[in-house]
């Protein structure tokens, strides 16, 4: 008997289907792509469950979210230490700023210039405060160009901002100066790239609303480039289409691929990846600084800046480094997590899987470079889980200012220390940090390198997964190797001691056993853990999750055995559940 739990915050939608003879079907779709079907025998119960779930899954206030009541039994100082684990000032120091060209600006210390930026911002040393203020007035939501990543060796910078309020002809001298300051802060290359991550058409349409993009004639030494990533609405409906296709029962191979194609999902993922590669090449090959923006500079810009940094800097490919990257480019720079993830009952048009796309791009990189990342797929999935779970404070709110007002650091816990405690689960056993070949990643974005991420979008559909995990076994082997090596050392030192003492061998033997009494069973228990309890000659045994009845091999299944849905008990009585 196991207990399955679904967090209320994970529920994306609840649907009541037409009454059947066995009861009233209830379908719950979760944000972590889990789909659960319940059949509740009595219609009234079903209706009650339906209404309760609707209420529980849509909260109106932050204070009602799980994070505010979650209590992992830590005291205040432990909680605070958890929040201090990731320190962005430390991170900028690691990158090599402040330095002779870049400095910390106190312009936004009180969130006066830009509410959605963090308090601490790094800007070119020669950019004075009036220039910053002037530029911020010319940028959408005041998000003026600031440093996102500094490449120490190349002395080139990745900067980010929002679109200029240029309309058809407006210009702003301070903004032009600020961009010039950024290019001057690069001692090697005097020109810089301005990447507008939107499709050209969208950017042009924005001009009618008094926004738009930089006019190359007004800025000295810039090279302007569109990269064509679609907006949040396109991404939302693309994922919607993808999930619809995958939810189809008895999906054929052809419907799957035509659905994958028409959803456009992989095309969007490739666009994000191509943009990050463009950025990386500008820095590595041309030694040029890059300024990235989209419309507001918190969705596509975050994707491109963070993914670009990940390609450039192997630190971000470690477990801790990846946390830093998310804190820096996503949380601190105001990616609107609460709106994009629909944490509260708010505008559904603001919901979009922008961060999920970022995780998917990282997953594609881990597939192409299996030795370049310290973490594994489970780490990405776990982070994705908690973006929506509202169990920890990190992703609540839409910007740093809002988080401070919610007093998240006093009232909730940070996710990162919990992930670090569980680090073992998230390690990639093939990780080779010293390999020079992976210093800068140069992914190949030929179309056939992009695959459907089954383990994300079918996380809970166990029948679709591989039934044995290579990662687990290698992990175990690695651990065993370490343990055995320690044992050998241990034994050798003990033998030495005994030789010195000239005691008899009986004692030695006892000691030998006491060192590793469990080792003879290690090898056998390694990979079929789930089966060790079962007798060996039972013909009907299978590896967990692998059963012919689950796999629906044919329409003749009824000729053979029928699979019964599991019976579960809900708070309201007994129901049958199929996942």
Partner 1 sequence: MMFFFLFSVSGNASNPEFKKKKNSECLLRLRHEGLLNSCPAGVASCPASSCPFRSPRSPRLKLLESALLLGPRPTAGGMEFSELIRTGRAQAELLRGPGAPPLRGTLCVTGHHLLLSPGPQATSDLWLLLLRSVDSIEKRVAGDSGTITLRCKDLRVLQLDIEGVEATLDIARSIEALSSLESVITSFPFFYRPKGLRLGDAWHFHPPEHYYKRVARETNAWRLSEVNEDFSVCPSYPRAVIVPRAVDDDALARSARFRQGGRFPVLSYHHAPSGTVLLRSSQPLTGPQKRRCAEDEELLRAVLAGARPGARGFIVDTRSAQAAKQARMTGGGTEAKAAYPGWKRLHRPMERGRPLQESFVRLVEACGDLEQSMDRWLSRLEGCRWLAHVKEALSTACLAAQGMEREGACILVHGAEGTDSTLLVTSLAQLILDPLSRTMTGFQELVEREWIQAGHPFQLRCAHSAFSHARPKHEAPTFLLFLDCVWQLGRQFPLSLEFGEGLLLALFEHAYASPFGTFLCNSEKERCLCEVRTRTHSLWSGLNQPKEQRKLRNPLYVLNPLAIWPSVEPQSLRLWQGLFLRWTRPPEPSEAAWEKVWQIVTDKEKTEGSQPTVSASEPQP
Interface residue with partner 1 among 76, 559, 564, 571 (CB under 8 A) is 559
* Largest pairwise CA distance in the chain: 95
E-assigned strand segments in 235-329: 289-293
Q: What do you get for the CA distance between the two ends of the chain, in Å?
A: 16
| Least distance CB 557 / partner 1 (angstroms) | 9
Do the beta carbons of residue 40 and residue 565 sit within 8 Å? Answer: no
Q: Which residue has the tokens 């004639």?
A: 217
Which letter does DSSP use for residue 330 in this model? I
> Cβ 371 to partner 1, closest distance in Å?
5
Closest to partner 1 by CB, 350 vs 487, is 487
Q: Which of 6, 27, 53, 549 binds partner 1 (CB under 8 A)?
A: 549
Return phi, psi of residue 14, to 5°: -125, 135
Pairing between β-strand 35-40 and β-strand 573-578 as defined by DSSP bridges? antiparallel
Closer of 477 and 570 to partner 1 (Cβ):
477
By the rule CB under 8 A, 258 interacts with partner 1: yes
Could you tell me which stretch among 117-125, 202-210, 301-309, 442-450 binds partner 1 (CB under 8 A)? 442-450
Considering the complex, what minimum distance in angstroms separates the CB of residue 35 from partner 1?
A: 14
378 backbone dihedrals φ, ψ, rounded to 5°:
-60, -35
Q: Scanning residues 358 to 377, which ones bind partner 1 (CB under 8 A)?
A: 368-372
536 binds partner 1 (CB under 8 A): yes
Is 448 near partner 1 (CB under 8 A)?
yes
Among 16, 125, 270, 320, binds partner 1 (CB under 8 A): 270
Least Å from the CB of residue 427 to partner 1: 13
Is the separation of the CB atoms in 15 and 36 below 8 Å? no
Among 55, 432, 521, 532, binds partner 1 (CB under 8 A): 432
- Residues 386, 415: contact at Cβ < 8 Å? yes
Out of 96, 247, 429, 565, the residue judged to bind partner 1 by CB under 8 A:
429
Q: What is the DSSP letter of 571?
A: T
From 504, 558, 564, 571, residue interacting with partner 1 (rule: CB under 8 A): 504
| Site for partner 1 contains 512 (CB under 8 A) | yes
Question: Can the peptide bond before residue 98 be classed as cis, meaning omega within 30 degrees of 0?
Answer: yes
Using CB under 8 A, which residues numbered 176 to 195 contact partner 1?
Answer: none
Strand order in the sheet with 11-16: 11-16, 24-30, 35-40, 573-578, 566-570
Could you say which of 24, 114, 159, 294 is catalytic? 294
Is residue 493 a contact point for partner 1 (CB under 8 A)? no
Candidate list 240, 532, 554, 569; residue touching partner 1; CB under 8 A = 554
3-state secondary structure (DSSP) of residue 38: strand
Is there binding between residue 548 and partner 1 (CB under 8 A)? yes
**Range 230-249, binding partner 1 (CB under 8 A):** 246
Tell me which stretch binds partner 1 (CB under 8 A): 126-134, 163-171, 177-185, 500-508: 500-508
Question: Smallest distance, Å, CB 488 to partner 1?
Answer: 6
Specify the residue, 51 or 468, whose C-beta has the smaller distance to partner 1.
468
Binding-site member from 21, 254, 436, 514 for partner 1 (CB under 8 A): 254
Residue 454 makes contact with partner 1 by CB under 8 A: yes
439 binds partner 1 (CB under 8 A): no
Interface with partner 1 includes 529 (CB under 8 A)? no
Distance CA 446, CA 291 (A): 26
Residue in 546, 565, 568, 570 binding partner 1, rule: CB under 8 A: 546
Separation CA 131–CA 344 (nearest Å): 38
537 interacts with partner 1 by CB under 8 A: yes
In whole angstroms, give the CA distance from residue 505 to residue 494. Answer: 12
Q: Is 152 in the site for partner 1 (CB under 8 A)?
A: no
CB of 519 to partner 1, least distance (A): 8
Q: For residue 496, what is the DSSP state?
A: H
Tokens coding 308: 């670009």
Is residue 65 within 8 Å of residue 8, measured between CB atoms? no
The site that binds partner 1 (CB under 8 A) totals a number of residues, namely: 91
Which C-beta is closer to partner 1: that of 182 or that of 276? 276
Report the candidate in 346, 390, 340 with the shortest Cα–Cα distance to residue 68: 390
> Contact, 280 vs 306, CB < 8 A?
no
Cα 574 from Cα 165, distance rounded (Å): 59
The only residue of 15, 466, 566, 567 in contact with partner 1, by rule CB under 8 A:
466
Nearer to partner 1, 268 or 336 (CB): 268
156 vs 144: CA distance, rounded Å? 18
Please report, as residue ranges, which positions from 337 to 356 form the binding site for partner 1 (by CB under 8 A): none
Active site residue 294: yes
Q: Give the CA distances from residue 556 to residues 302, 549, 552, 553, 560, in Å, rounded to whole numbers and listed in that order.
A: 50, 11, 9, 8, 7
Q: Which is nearer to partner 1, 241 or 541 (CB)?
A: 541
| DSSP symbol at 326 | I
Considering only 94, 386, 411, 541, the residue that binds partner 1 (CB under 8 A) is 541
* Contact (CB, 8 A) for 212 and 224: no
For 545, residues 6+ apart whose C-beta sits below 8 A from its C-beta are 462, 463, 465, 467
CB of 430 to partner 1, least distance (A): 5
CA 196 – CA 205 distance, rounded (Å) = 14
Residues of each annotated binding site: 231-232, 294-300
User: Looking at residue 420, what DSSP letter applies?
Assistant: H
In the complex, what is the shortest distance from the CB of residue 62 to partner 1, in angstroms, rounded to a whole number?
36
Smallest gap from Cβ 12 to partner 1, in A, equals 20
Does position 518 bind partner 1 by CB under 8 A?
no
When asked if residue 578 is in the footprint of partner 1 (CB under 8 A), the reply is: no
Q: Which of 17, 208, 209, 484 binds partner 1 (CB under 8 A)?
A: 484
Token output for 44:
């009234």
Point out the residues that are catalytic: 294
């Amino acid at each position: 008997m196991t207990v399955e739990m679904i967090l209320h915050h994970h529920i994306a939608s609840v649907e009541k289907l037409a009454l059947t003879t066995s009861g009233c079907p209830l379908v719950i779709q979760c944000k972590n792509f889990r789909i659960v079907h319940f059949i509740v025998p009595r219609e009234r119960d079903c209706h009650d469950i339906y209404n309760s779930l609707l209420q529980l899954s849509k909260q109106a206030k932050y204070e009602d979210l799980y994070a505010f009541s979650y209590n992992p039994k830590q005291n205040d100082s432990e909680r605070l230490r958890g929040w201090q684990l990731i320190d962005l000032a430390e991170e900028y120091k690691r990158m090599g700023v402040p330095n002779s060209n870049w400095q910390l600006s106190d312009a936004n210390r009180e969130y006066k210039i830009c509410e959605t930026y963090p308090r601490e911002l790094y800007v070119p040393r020669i950019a004075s405060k009036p220039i910053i203020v002037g530029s911020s007035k010319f940028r959408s939501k005041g998000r003026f160009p600031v440093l996102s990543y500094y490449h120490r060796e190349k002395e080139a910078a990745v900067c980010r901002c929002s679109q200029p309020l240029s309309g058809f002809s407006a210009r702003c001298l301070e903004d032009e100066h600020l961009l010039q300051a950024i290019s001057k802060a690069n001692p090697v290359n005097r020109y810089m790239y301005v990447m507008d991550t939107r499709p050209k058409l969208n950017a042009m349409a924005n001009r009618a609303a008094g926004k738009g993009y930089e006019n190359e004639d007004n800025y000295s030494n810039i090279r302007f480039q569109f990269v064509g990533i679609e907006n949040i609405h396109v991404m939302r409906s693309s994922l919607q289409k993808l999930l619809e296709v995958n939810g189809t029962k008895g999906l054929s191979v052809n419907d799957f691929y035509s659905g994958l194609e028409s959803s456009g999902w992989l095309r969007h993922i490739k666009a994000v990846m191509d943009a990050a590669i463009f950025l990386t090449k500008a820095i590595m090959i041309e030694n040029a600084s890059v300024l990235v923006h989209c419309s507001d500079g918190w969705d596509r810009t975050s994707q491109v800046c963070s993914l670009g940094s990940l390609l450039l800097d192997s630190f971000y490919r470690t477990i801790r480094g990846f946390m830093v990257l998310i804190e820096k480019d996503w949380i601190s720079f105001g990616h609107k997590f609460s709106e994009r993830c629909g944490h509260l009952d708010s505008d559904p048009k603001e919901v979009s899987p922008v961060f999920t796309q970022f995780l998917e791009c990282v997953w594609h990189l881990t597939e192409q470079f299996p030795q370049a990342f310290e973490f594994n797929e489970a780490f990405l999935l776990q982070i994705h889980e908690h973006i929506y779970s509202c169990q920890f404070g990190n992703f609540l709110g839409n910007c740093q200012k809002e988080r401070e007002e919610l007093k998240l650091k006093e009232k909730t816990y940070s996710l990162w220390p919990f992930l670090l405690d569980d680090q073992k689960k998230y390690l990639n056993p093939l990780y080779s940090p010293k390999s020079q070949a992976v210093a800068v990643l140069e992914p190949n974005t030929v179309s056939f390198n992009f695959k459907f991420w089954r383990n994300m979008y079918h996380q809970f559909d166990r029948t679709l997964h591989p039934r044995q995990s290579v990662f687990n076994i290698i992990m175990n082997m690695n651990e065993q190797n370490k343990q055995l090596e320690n044992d050998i050392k241990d034994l050798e030192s003990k033998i030495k001691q005994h030789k010195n003492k000239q005691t008899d061998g009986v004692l030695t033997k006892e000691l030998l056993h006491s060192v590793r009494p469990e080792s003879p069973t290690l090898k056998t228990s390694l990979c079929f853990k789930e089966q060790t309890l079962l007798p060996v000659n039972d013909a009907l045994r299978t590896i967990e999750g692998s059963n012919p009845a689950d796999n629906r091999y044919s329409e003749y299944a009824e000729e053979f055995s029928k699979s019964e849905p599991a019976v579960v008990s809900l708070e309201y009585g007994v129901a049958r559940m199929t996942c």
